[in-house]
Chains A and B, each alone.
Chain A
């Protein structure tokens, strides 16, 4: 059985499994990392959104064999460490606005938000527009979308300070 190795939340991990298993199941079923949630397995609902080398991606739709040993995977569990704090500013903003309802989509929502804001900041854009927020495809079946928008705007400010 092939050995898979990549960097997960700052640690090099090794796992023996077939190349074609989607990363979500390697994380959840083999490594016990359950922050990324299953919502569709189709790259549609975005509940499993995590970061690969700092960019948002959906591990339900990437085969583990396609990862390089140097690829850095960050799940919600590893997000605070990327800023060296107990909580990422986006998580703080989420708490301030009291965004979650059932909470199931929230790890993915936060990971999407952080990647979006980082992408905009890297392009020199510091103001989050409605069009930016409209581009987020993550499903929240509880319908907390409005508070998500509020939290992203708050979190984006905090990420710049």
Chain B
């Protein structure tokens, strides 16, 4: 993959939308140095722009899906408008600028893209911009939630406005200093230049531009055609720290007295502690200082995490039953199928052809590589927390309620996360750490074991997606999807936003979080006549520990949809790419589809047992398309896993050998970072299609390590990967973090179906094959570390 000219957007030339030379309002903040601020919340794009567009091939037009009219990101942005407070850019006397981002950086590159926005608005080199993560700011209400790939959509204009206001204030201060007109001054790379040849650094102007009283101010933003940073590939500002091992995650934060802490957990989901037989003996083990029972298990505190592992293993606990002890995969699948909503299209004439397939998508683990971690220091009148939190305000409020403290007595320090993927919007680790710290009367540093992550962490629920399409005389009469899932827990993060906004949304029927999120994210971008997509859920939201896992419904919904699109094309004897070209009702989707088909040489001759697959996806105000090539030859699928990892049986399965991916996010702030996000999404898509799932047996997950749960590894990586960033379309940035998964997964599935001549209906395709590992025991809940000899 290269970052070439193709990846550099052609910014500003006749693009629709985007920032025009409108005036924006912000604030000059009273402070000893120059501080400018703007409200979070952006103008909404014209909601009609996503509907069907003229000039596309004729077919039976479909009504716009709800997500065409208002999508989830609009909701997250609406939430910002009435409640948002200010985000501030500080100009320091040493010539640098500081900005505390009210979001959680956990790999998605938002610290880098935010620095780019400030550099653009301020005319200051990237190297002089310091980005930190803001601690919980309860006054921001809903505006400190990291999720739904919404960060850049919500912060783009406010950050630009604050930075541009700062530049304007510096110019005004320089004008007074020099006795010249502002119109005679220019800025470049952290300096103000006058037409008479004078040069003043931003640092020298920082205190002179400071104001005594806070006041509103307006500024005109530069046209996007003048951008010099936005739209150019920039490397991550934290890369040096990452490659030298100095980047600080929660467990690396030094809090005096905070001791390593782990939890012994129940053998089944939601199992509870009945009694602990040997607490005193375990507390007497080397290094162990405390053993306390908490709401989620038995906590041990010790000098090292290694000794905590020993203690967890040594604990003799009597456990009560869990919430789903009588459930296994087959039970859940049967319950899902039984709960599927009926299709609405009546039975059609005998000449009509019906395609009807019910797909199953299995559980996905929500774990990042850095496990759940949190440091908590509970005092009698205050509490401090350090953790990677996607919802720090919610954590602060929950902790305050638990401890009986005012919210402002709780400080939630947001640390950078080792991956999040939606997992860190739940407050489990911080709440456990608080409970333990209070119980033992000292600060604690809590870490979940890897096996805890798989067996007690959050999962993307298993679901079915039942698709029915009716064809008659070369037309698609109808296309319906009935998506049925185990309930997803949206109560933390998305949920509180939706609760407050339900009455304000265009459709008044949004009573449940899940339906709102489903209807505002899924769509059928084809002219398929009568279309509908409905969601049903089974069980209560907390029966399983559920969550989203890098994108909500679309990896499954789009995979099912695109597989059936291929089936329809096949039934009509039309090539899958040609068919999509004819039926897509959206010019931006068509553009990314054409791009991958051309660059990926769609239709080239492939060897037996190999094939191409192609798919499109719309979400987050953007469009993506993926073309993949898959190798299902026996030589490849039968590669023994043990040749890569010992103690594992079985085979690798197919290999995706090539991926060409095109992404249109409206405006790419950082094409290099956007490509990185798509790359990660592509690997998730490959894994979810082929190998990555959890198995439920008798109320517990079988998987316990990365050698049980087959997220992609190097032997799954495509040999060729080309990620094409499309030139700006809307002129406004869309979402990125989760955007790569759905189209990739769908294209891999389509390619697999074409290579093997069989339509897969259960994902990942190997889920129902014999297990490729021996599950760890459930008691004790975690395995001991190996005892290997060091290399001589």
Contact of B788 among A37, A43, A147 (CB under 8 A): A43
Find out whether the CB atom of A102 lies under 8 angstroms from the CB atom of B304.
Answer: no
B677-689 vs A, Cβ < 8 Å mask (1 yes, 0 no): 1011111100000
Contact of B706 among A37, A44, A77 (CB under 8 A): A44
A127-140 vs B, Cβ < 8 Å mask (1 yes, 0 no): 00010011111111
Kindly report which residue of chain B lies nearest to residue A55, judged by CB atoms: B791
**Could you say which interface size class chain B belongs to?**
35 or more
Contact of B245 among A18, A35, A66 (CB under 8 A): A35
Q: Kindly state whether residue B131 has any CB partner on chain A within 8 Å.
A: no
Task: Known A-B contacts: A45-B450, A140-B369, A141-B369. Give 16 more (CB < 8 A).
Answer: A25-B304, A29-B305, A35-B244, A41-B449, A44-B450, A44-B707, A45-B706, A76-B244, A101-B107, A133-B717, A134-B644, A137-B714, A145-B683, A145-B714, A146-B717, A148-B714
Most chain B CB inside 10 Å of its own CB: which residue of A17, A29, A76, A103: A103
Kindly report which residue of chain B lies nearest to residue A75, judged by CB atoms: B245
Kindly report which residue of chain A lies nearest to residue B247, judged by CB atoms: A103
Kindly report which residue of chain B lies nearest to residue A41, judged by CB atoms: B785
Residues 539-561 (chain B) with a chain A CB within 8 angstroms? none
Find out whether the CB atom of A104 lies under 8 angstroms from the CB atom of B109.
Answer: no
Find out whether the CB atom of B714 lies under 8 angstroms from the CB atom of A25.
Answer: no
Q: Which chain A residues lie closer than 8 Å to B707 at the CB level?
A: 42, 44
Q: Which chain B residues lie closer than 8 Å to A22 at the CB level?
A: 306, 785
Find out whether the CB atom of B236 lies under 8 angstroms from the CB atom of A100.
Answer: yes
Find out whether the CB atom of A101 lies under 8 angstroms from the CB atom of B109.
Answer: yes
Chain A nearest Cβ from B791, distance in angstroms: 4
Q: Which chain A residues lie closer than 8 Å to B307 at the CB level?
A: 21, 25
Q: Kindly state whether residue A67 has any CB partner on chain B within 8 Å.
A: yes
Find out whether the CB atom of B235 lies under 8 angstroms from the CB atom of A141.
Answer: no
Q: Which chain A residues lie closer than 8 Å to B513 at the CB level?
A: none
Q: Kindly state whether residue B412 has any CB partner on chain A within 8 Å.
A: no
| 5 nearest A-B residue pairs (beta carbon) | A35-B245, A104-B418, A102-B107, A143-B683, A103-B242
Q: Kindly state whether residue B246 has any CB partner on chain A within 8 Å.
A: yes
Find out whether the CB atom of B235 lies under 8 angstroms from the CB atom of A52.
Answer: no
Q: Which chain A residues lie closer than 8 Å to B682 at the CB level?
A: 143
Q: Which chain A residues lie closer than 8 Å to B714 at the CB level?
A: 133-138, 145, 148-149
Q: How far does the alpha carbon of A80 sit from the alpha carbon of B246 in the complex, in Å?
A: 13
Instruction: Provide a sorted-by-A list of 7 A–B residue pairs whose CB atoms are within 8 angstroms.
Output: A21-B304, A34-B251, A35-B245, A56-B791, A98-B672, A134-B717, A135-B644
Known: A61-B786, A142-B680. A29 touches B244 (CB 8 A): no
Contact of A143 among B309, B681, B792 (CB under 8 A): B681
Known: A25-B306, A137-B644, A141-B369. A57 touches B791 (CB 8 A): yes
Most chain B CB inside 10 Å of its own CB: which residue of A18, A52, A53: A18
Q: Kindly state whether residue A71 has any CB partner on chain B within 8 Å.
A: yes
Q: Which chain A residues lie closer than 8 Å to B418 at the CB level?
A: 37, 102-105
Residues 28-85 (chain A) with a chain B CB within 8 angstroms? 28-30, 32, 34-45, 47, 52-58, 60-63, 66-67, 71, 75-77, 80
Q: How far does the alpha carbon of A95 sit from the alpha carbon of B240 in the complex, in Å?
A: 7
Q: Kindly state whether residue B321 has any CB partner on chain A within 8 Å.
A: no
